[in-house]
Every structure is written in C-alpha cells, then in structure tokens.
Structure 1
C-alpha cells in the first residue's frame, strides 16, 4: 500500500528550531526538501550556516562504545536523565581518561616493536657461542656480522677460504643465505672486507651493549617483549573497564547525541527569513497524511510553531516521494520493488501481488518437502538474526516449496515416502487434440500464465484510470481492448482443447477484429475522446506501416509472453529429474543408499537450482508481468531520522 503524502511547511522563531526538531519532528517520518530551493519565490531567504555542536562529541561517543565488551543492540533502548551538558561532560571525561590510556599504550607498543626488531636481528646468530660485548670490542681483531648468499658462500669455501686470513663462523642457514660472522686481524681487515664485499656479504650491525651470548640476549629481549605485551593487555583491560563501568550511560548518551545531531542537521535543509524586526526558520517537506494529522494536533497549543499543509503541491513542485506500508509478512518483498523502481503515487503498490506470485511460482518450480523445510528454517534464522530481506523471501518461498512437495509427493528427492496429493510432474500426462500426449504440468503452467496476463491487464486498467490515461484505459494492448482480445483467444483455446464448441466466425470477427482495429487507430481514437484535434504528422502511409509493425509486435508479445510460463512446468519436471539422478548416484535404485551422496546432492541442488529458480521467477515478475502494468517511475521516501540523515 502506498501512503498518501502531504507537503508541509513549518515555521517559527529561528532560535526555536532545535526545540521543534527535537520535540515534534523526531517523532514523525518526514522527508525534508531544501527550503531555499522550494520557496525560491519568497524574498529574504538565507541558508543556515551553523556548525553542528554535537558531531564531535557523537564521534567520540561512537569510538568509546566500540570498546564495550557487550555492545548495544537495536532492540535495546536505554534512557538517561542526564542533561545535554552532563552528557557532554561525561563524554569529555571518559574520552580524556581513555586518551591517557591510549597514549601509554602507544608508547609501550613502540618500545615493544623496537625490541622485536632487535630480537629479529639477533635470531640468525643464536647458535654462536660467544659474548657479544667482548667480541665487538676486541683490541687486535675486528668481527663482522652479516649474511652471504649460499652460492657465494660455496665459492668462498672452495676457492678463497684457504688463502683468506680470516675465520668465518656459521650461524643460521636457510634456503637463500648463510648467516654468521668473520674474524680478521686489524692488519688484514681492508683486504678481507674487500673480498667479502665482492662476494656480496651484507653486514648486519649489532649493538655492543649485549653482555651475553646471542641466545641469552635473545631470551632477555623476548622476556622484555612479553612484559611489554602484558602491560599493553592490562591497559586494554583498563580501557574495557572504563567504558563498561559507564555502559548504560554511554549507550544512552550515544543515542541521544545522535538524535540531537540529526535534529540539528535539519538546518541544512531549512531556510532563514530575516527582516528588520524578526528572524524565522522555515522547514518544508513531505509527511504521511496520518502523521500530518497527529503533528498538527501536537502543535495546536504551541503558539511558537506555525504549520501549513499545502494541497496539490505536486502540480507545481513535482511528484511526492513514495512511502510503502505493507504487513510484516510481505515487507521483505519491497526489496524487489525497489530494485525495479518505486511506484508512482498514481500506481498501485505491487508488493503483495509480487509476494504471492513469486512464492507460489517458486514453490511450483522447486517442490520438495525436505528442501523447502531447509529453505524455510535457514532463511527464517537469517532474517530474524541479520534482518536480511532476501532471507525472509527465501523462508516464505520455502513454505510454498513444502506445500508443492506434498502435492508432488517428494521429500529430499524420494518419491516413495509420501503419496502425491496432486500429481507427479514427470509422470502426469494429458492428451490434447492435434497435439497428442503432453505433460500435464506444462498445460497447467500455460493456463496459469494466461490467467496472470489477464490479471495484470486489469491492474494496467486500474493504474490508467488513476492516471486518467485515456489511451491506456481503452485502446492499448494492455487496456480494455487488449483484455477483450486476449480473453477471447483464451476462451477459444480452452473450448477447443476441452472438446467444446468454439465461438462462431461472427463472434471471432467482433471480439478479435474490432480490438485489432482499435490497436491500429488508438492514437486518433484517443484524440477524439479527449477532443484533441491533432493531425497525423507522419502521413497516412507511414501511419499504417507503423501500425502494421506495432500489431505484429503486439501479437508476438502475446504469444511469447504466454509461452514464457512454460518454464514453470519445465523446472518442476527438471527438478524431479535431477533428484532422480542424485538418488541413482547414491545407489537408491540398487537398495544400497549412500547417505553422504544424498546429503551432498541435496545441498548442491538447493544451492544451484534454488538460485536459478529464484532468478527465473524474478524474470517472470519483471519481464512478463511488470512490463504490462507497472512503470516504477516514483522516488523513494527518505525521512530524516537515525538511519537516514540529512546530507
């Protein structure tokens, strides 16, 4: 259902805008329009340039709330008796304490990272048994720590080691490098350093303040790192305790500051009217008709607020936004409507129609008691916990899958557990004149599609009456003429295939020929009814050529649109056939069932075929049904509130 909208203008003293937003507007859903733009004919209009005083405190509150061990939920509503000043002081104090803790924590993290770097440098030399301080301060020898590529180290050992006046001690070795150090006398240091440099020896600097072996120094550094991390964790716990001790106050303050900040941002869409004596604000926008009534009652005793409801506002300032209001059961299906386009105010809301047809067709195409139950349960859990609209749709569709599963006698693909209450899609056959044996489910699918086509034509007529569109009411292929034409074809086909006498030639000429003439001359007929004396601009020849191709396209669309519903029966049959293959792979035909194959096969079918069926049903909704009656040219209603802030 589409909520009827009213355009509302609210004004009062400029200094009273916060009170009005907080006391009145926060209770109702209102889509604000830019008052400076909407009221452009009014003199002395100015925008507000005030800076939001709550935004900084709100950002700090949101960061503090992130540290709560038990975060707040959407269903949890916590009230506070704190004033605005007290809330700002609370956020300021807790933020100050948290910043001190964070500063200490950052210093500890820097020290820890520095210790890790030193430890990582020492790690390759842990196997060297020497006192680092002593070897780094030898009087007659120099020691160089570093690494050399394995290829070059092999060359060093093979060709140069015997002639080199140096000793190399190997530490850690990996796939690429050999870590270690070499000792060289002071007199040979220049020559040896040159040789090692030519072999791409990379020096690694070690501090001489280590007074132990590399292993012992490494352990001391590791202990210091663990101590630093312990202190960091302690500061984390202090931060956790700081915010947890004020949990309710923080959550209530965050919610309240969000309201105040959002209400203050109303200024972005408001306008100021200033003259020599007074300074007023003006807020304007769209509100639901019932909300307008309640709002006017709320302010009737408030002499500082003045409101005007402007009738027929859309005639001058565009169409109102569309606000959908449907029962909770059908609410998730609004997602499909928004994907296609919101209905115009003069269109009917197709949400309930989509909900019923989508789930019914899905169930017929994917009929299985067990698989439908899984869809219902999993979708329901996700919808209740994650509020996912698609999950809600899947859950409801699962119910219809279960229903058709009972009708078809299928439980996880097994057709010997329960009896079919209606038919088995693979086996049910019907004999038709001039056609022969045809699967019954195909015939039912086409008949169902014909009925839906007639129904959406009725919707098109209703929408056209609302829009006062004469051509689409009477003369279009989806209007009254199209309904008569298509209805006559259906009557004739049904009578023929059921063995009854078909209408005579005169009736066919009247109910088929006249609508075709109406299709051809719909534009002149519309002009005649509307008394619009408009001449045919393209000429008579081009008019009839264009009319011929339009009639051809119309006939083709009737045929393809009807035939498209065969996919309902095709998927019902293919689903049963696929499950037969799964059971055959599991050995059910041999009496030795492999349950892992049954489980995996069912999961694959639910995932892949369920997705394909869902897409195919949506295609039927959009291309075969919506194309006949629905435009979706409206704009979505976006109220300013906690979830839709003014930007």
Structure 2
C-alpha cells in the first residue's frame, strides 16, 4: 500500500528552529524540500548562512568512541545536558592530547635510536671496542660496504698485496659490510684500491660504546624500553576513555543528532524584515504523522504548521512510501528494481508477492526442496534481514504446496500420491491439437487470466490518473480488455466443446474494440473537447494504425505464449530429478545417497536460480509492462536512522 502524503509548511521564530527539530521533527519522518525553491509565492526568502556549532565537538566524540573496545554494547549516560557534553569533550581532549604529546616525544626518541641502530647493525659480527677504534691516532679506518662480487675479487687477488686489513661484517644478498684499516702513509693508495672495488663509505659517529654487537644490543634494549613506555601511554589513554565510555557514547549520539538537526538550515529559508525574523521549513510527511504532529504542537505558540492541499503551492509530485504486511515486505525489492509507483498508481507489491510465489511454486514443485528453501530463506531473513531471503522463503512455501499437488519429494514420486497430477505424464486431448501436456494447457489459461487482471489494473490506474485515452482506447484499456477477453472466451468455448457466438456477434466483439483502438486519438480529443487536427493525412494515419494493430495482435499472442514456460519448467524439473535418481541407481535397487543429496542440492541451486529469474521476467515483461509505469520517487526522510528515545 502507498502511504498518503501531505505537504506541510512549518514556521516560527528563527532562534527556535533547533528546538522544533529536536523536540518534534526528530521523532517524525519528514522528507524536507528546499524552501527557497518550493515556496514560489513567498517574498523576501533568504538562505541560512550559519556554521554548525556541534561539528568540531562531534568529530572529537566520534574519534574517542572509535577508540573504545566495544562501544555498541555500552549503555549511554543520558543524564548529561549539552553544557556537560561540551565540557566532557574539552577535558577528554586535553587529557588525550597530553598523553599523545608524551607519546610523540617517546616515538621521536625511538626513531632516533632506531636510526643509530640501523647504522651499526651490519657491523655486528666485527669485534673490537668502537670507543677505541673511532679514536685511533696512528691507524686510519674506513667503515662501509661493497658488492659481493667485488669482495670476492678482493679476497682472491688483492688482499695479500695490500698494506691494509679488511675486517668483514654482515653480508646480505647484494653487499658485504666491513671496515679496512691501514697506516696513514698508505691510506691514499688503499682508498684508491677500495674505490675501484665500489666501496661505499659509511660514517660511524663517535657515540657508540663497546663492540658493534654490544652497541647494537644496547640500542635495541633502549628501543624496547621506550616501546613499553609508548604502550603504557596507550593503555593509560584507553583506560581514561573506558572510564568515560558511557558518557562519550551518549555525547556522540546526542551531538550527531544536534549536528544533523542544525544542518536542516540547508533546506530551510529565512524571512527577515523590520518587524520579524523567522524560519520556514517545508516537506512531505505521512498523513497520520501530520495529524499527530499538529496535535502535539497545537499548544505551542512558537510553531505554525500549514498543510498544503493545493498542488500549485508546491513543485513536484509526492514521494512514495510503501507500507505492506510483513509477509509481503520483501517483495518491495522487486517493485523498487522496476521503479516505485507514483502517488496515483496502484502499489503492485501484493500482486507481485502472490503471483511470483504462486508461479515459482508451480515451476519448482517439490515438497523436500520447497521445505529446504523455506528453512534456509527464513533463517537468513531472520538474522540478516535480506529481502531476497524472505522472497525465497515465501516462494518455498508454494513450492512445498505444489510438491504435494505433483506428488514429488526430493524427486521421489513413489512416496506420496499426487493431489492433482504428475506434470511429466498427464496429457489432455484438445480439438484440432490432439494430446498435449495438461500443465502446458493450464499454464496458458493461467497466463490469459493474469493478462486480463493486468488490463483491469491498467484501467484502474488510468482512471486514477485521469487518463481518458489510456482508460478507454488503449490496447490495455477497456477496448483491449473487451477484445482480448473475447478471444479468451471464444477459445475456451471452442476447446471445451461448447458453441461459439454467431459470426455477427464475433464481428462486434472483435471489430468494435479494434476500431476504438485504431481511432483512439480523435476519439479522445472528441471526449475532451479538444480541436486538434491530424499531423499527417488520413491515409498515413490508417497505414500507421494498421501496423500498430498488427503489432498489438502479435504482442497479445507472444505474451500469452510466454506463459508456456511455467509448464515447461514444471516438466523439466521432474525430468531433471528423474536423471538424478537414475544416476543414483534407484531403479537398480542400489541407491547412492551421496548422489541423491548432491543432485538435489545442484537442482535446487541451479534450477531455483533460473526459475527465479524466469518468473521475474514474466512479472516485468508480461504483466508490469501492461499496467505499471513505476515513475515514483522514493520517500527519503531527513531524519532517517536518526531517531532517538526522548
């Protein structure tokens, strides 16, 4: 069902807008429209230009709550007023920044130590006291690294001929680290040799004590101690925030609401003159909510509410809000996929819910697999609230019902007797056609009935929308209904062996509706008393009309024939399960239950998906296209997901 909407104007003193949002509108769903563009008859409208005073505090509250271990399970402390909330955010921020400042100092010191440790790390395998080495007076030294292949040349060809000593440090995939020592007199020659070996010098500051191993270990220990202090500060901050958890959660919730309510100014307008300064809000509310809101605000002398019934007072059409019984609620997803109904259309949710589930059940009739769909779909819908899961569960109910009608339980057709027939076996003899599967015949008859129902719904929508041509002369209007209904009646009479109407009656039944459809435009202009001339000549009008009628007749035939797929899938489902049972060796007496289980799962998943898509195709192309436009816009309340207990 489509909820009836009302367009409301709300006004009051400019300074009172936050109170109205917080006290009233935060508890009702209202789709706000821009007052500056909607209220075209009001003079001196101006926009609000104010900064949101809650935004900065809200950002801090969101940050602090994000640090909490489990904020969703924390009960908010609702006793705090707005001033208390601001004071809480201020003091918490000061404490947190103080801890962060200390932590940043320790992190900076740790980075400095890490840089020093990184320098000395590659020289850990070397011995010696760095404090002494770095202060040698009579021995020159160079610390650095060289490529592995160059070090191999040094060892093999040059080391014995140099007046220098090379002490190797660590080695990685590409480089060898170490230091060479030489007398100052030989240093120039030694430097030249090592430069030719691509030796890259690494400066070692005179700030290390002990061997490279000892110096590295000492630095690592200092880094570990500093990291402990950083972690302790993290724990202290977490403890401080946890102590204020309930207050912070409430502060976040309350500030979110206040900031959101303040932002209503983007949709509001101001009217300011010498005497008064007030705000104007306008938008759509459900009729029931409007009544409750007006009754609640009746004694409030600062709130003025006007309900607009004149369409000229606002732009656009009312938004669409659907409200259906819980069992049909999931099917709103299919309606939304096609397009929401406009305010003067019929909500097709109930129609979709009934026809989709029924057709799915016929095409996928099996007691066991139907119950499986019910259980799985119901569980997923219960825990995840996925609309598709609810649709699967409802369709599974009808699958189970038609499973009893067809006598099929997980593909076995010898467990229960069918209440109606077995789709793969039952035949019916028709005049001029011969024997034909009964399910095919019933499917076409059912399709004809659905097409007639869709035409009736089209006529209702046309009358509600004051569409004269659509109601009377459209192929889906009264003329089309009479024509197609006549065809259905004649076919049924002929196939059941009854006499068909006389030729003159058939001529009237078929001819008059076709003529009405052919001349729909001039007839509509006549009824509406419009004097419009044909844009093209009479001959072109008749030629175009002829081809349109021919196309219409083809569409009637193809749309009706499309419903054969209902019976085809009912038969194919039974045939697929026969194949599964044959592969499982049921007929031979040696049943392979693994094949039975896997086969049922495969059929349930694959055919269930295909059937679901095919039924949706029938809904959209064979039924929706006849009566439904789906041109509505979704109702988007400004305070969606912002409701809070007062």
* Range of TM-score over shorter length: 0.7 to 0.9
Correspondence list, 1:304-323, <5 A: 304-313=302-311, 317-323=315-321
- Are the equivalent residues in 1 in contact too, given 2:11–2:278 (CA < 8 A)? yes
The match for 1:190 is 191
The match for 2:58 is 58
Change (3 A) 1:95 1:352: farther
Cα deviation digits, residues 237-288 of structure 1 (max 9, x gap): 4344333333333333222222222222222111111111211211112212
- Are the equivalent residues in 1 in contact too, given 2:75–2:246 (CA < 8 A)? no
Change (3 A) 1:17 1:559: same
Correspondence list, 1:480-519, <5 A: 480-519=478-517
Question: How many angstroms does 1:295 deviate by?
Answer: 1.6
The answer to whether 1:290 aligns with 2:288 is yes
Question: 1:587 and 1:111 mapped to 2: Cα distance?
Answer: 76
Change (3 A) 1:582 1:23: same
Correspondence list, 1:81-230, <5 A: 81-108=79-106, 128=125, 130-131=127-128, 133=130, 137=134, 140=139, 142-146=141-145, 148=147, 167=166, 169=168, 171-174=170-173, 177=174, 179-181=176-178, 183=180, 185=182, 186-197=187-198, 209=207, 211=209, 227-230=225-228
Question: 2:232 and 2:367 mapped to 1: Cα distance?
Answer: 55
Question: 1:442 and 1:282 mapped to 2: Cα distance?
Answer: 62
Question: 2:332 and 2:108 mapped to 1: Cα distance?
Answer: 52
Change (3 A) 1:538 1:86: same
The match for 1:380 is 378
Question: How many angstroms does 1:313 deviate by?
Answer: 2.5
- Are the equivalent residues in 2 in contact too, given 1:343–1:349 (CA < 8 A)? yes
The match for 2:467 is 469
Q: Which residue among 253, 257, 260 is the counterpart of 2:258?
A: 260
Structure 1: tracts of 5 or more residues without a match: none
- Are the equivalent residues in 2 in contact too, given 1:314–1:320 (CA < 8 A)? no
Total equivalences in the alignment: 636
Change (3 A) 1:239 1:79: closer
Change (3 A) 1:378 1:275: same
Question: How many angstroms does 1:426 deviate by?
Answer: 3.6
The answer to whether 1:392 aligns with 2:393 is no
Question: How many angstroms does 1:33 deviate by?
Answer: 1.6
Q: Which moved more, 1:459-468 or 1:360-369?
A: 360-369
Question: 1:501 and 1:436 mapped to 2: Cα distance?
Answer: 19
Question: 1:339 and 1:370 mapped to 2: Cα distance?
Answer: 31
Cα deviation digits, residues 312-362 of structure 1 (max 9, x gap): 225763312222222222222222222222211110111121222223333
Question: How many angstroms does 1:55 deviate by?
Answer: 1.9
Cα deviation digits, residues 620-642 of structure 1 (max 9, x gap): 22222111011111222211104
Question: 1:203 and 1:371 mapped to 2: Cα distance?
Answer: 77
Q: Secondary structure at the match of 1:8?
A: strand
Question: 2:633 and 2:343 mapped to 1: Cα distance?
Answer: 9
Structure 2: tracts of 5 or more residues without a match: none
Q: Which residue among 323, 328, 331 is the counterpart of 2:329?
A: 331
Q: Which residue among 73, 77, 80 is the counterpart of 2:78?
A: 80
Change (3 A) 1:500 1:268: same
Question: How many angstroms does 1:222 deviate by?
Answer: 5.4
Question: 1:617 and 1:584 mapped to 2: Cα distance?
Answer: 29
Question: 2:573 and 2:129 mapped to 1: Cα distance?
Answer: 76
The match for 2:556 is 558
TM-score normalized by the length of structure 2? 0.87
Q: What CA RMSD, in Å, does the superposition of the two structures yield over aligned residues? A: 3.5
- Are the equivalent residues in 1 in contact too, given 2:340–2:634 (CA < 8 A)? yes
Change (3 A) 1:96 1:586: farther
Q: Which moved more, 1:246-255 or 1:22-31?
A: 246-255
The match for 1:630 is 628
Change (3 A) 1:632 1:464: same
Q: Which residue among 254, 262, 273 is the counterpart of 1:275?
A: 273
Cα deviation digits, residues 210-233 of structure 1 (max 9, x gap): 556666666656555555555454
Question: 2:595 and 2:347 mapped to 1: Cα distance?
Answer: 45
The answer to whether 1:45 aligns with 2:45 is yes
TM-score normalized by the length of structure 1? 0.87
Cα deviation digits, residues 123-157 of structure 1 (max 9, x gap): 7766x35358379736635454436366x777777
Question: 1:454 and 1:614 mapped to 2: Cα distance?
Answer: 23
Question: How many angstroms does 1:457 deviate by?
Answer: 0.8
Larger-gyration structure (1/2): 2
- Are the equivalent residues in 2 in contact too, given 1:262–1:642 (CA < 8 A)? no
- Are the equivalent residues in 1 in contact too, given 2:143–2:204 (CA < 8 A)? no
Q: Secondary structure at the match of 1:267?
A: helix
Question: 2:360 and 2:76 mapped to 1: Cα distance?
Answer: 42
Change (3 A) 1:288 1:231: same
Question: 1:250 and 1:538 mapped to 2: Cα distance?
Answer: 74
- Are the equivalent residues in 1 in contact too, given 2:35–2:268 (CA < 8 A)? yes
Question: 1:50 and 1:3 mapped to 2: Cα distance?
Answer: 35
Q: Secondary structure at the match of 1:322?
A: coil
Question: 1:243 and 1:155 mapped to 2: Cα distance?
Answer: 62
Q: Which moved more, 1:405-414 or 1:466-475?
A: 405-414
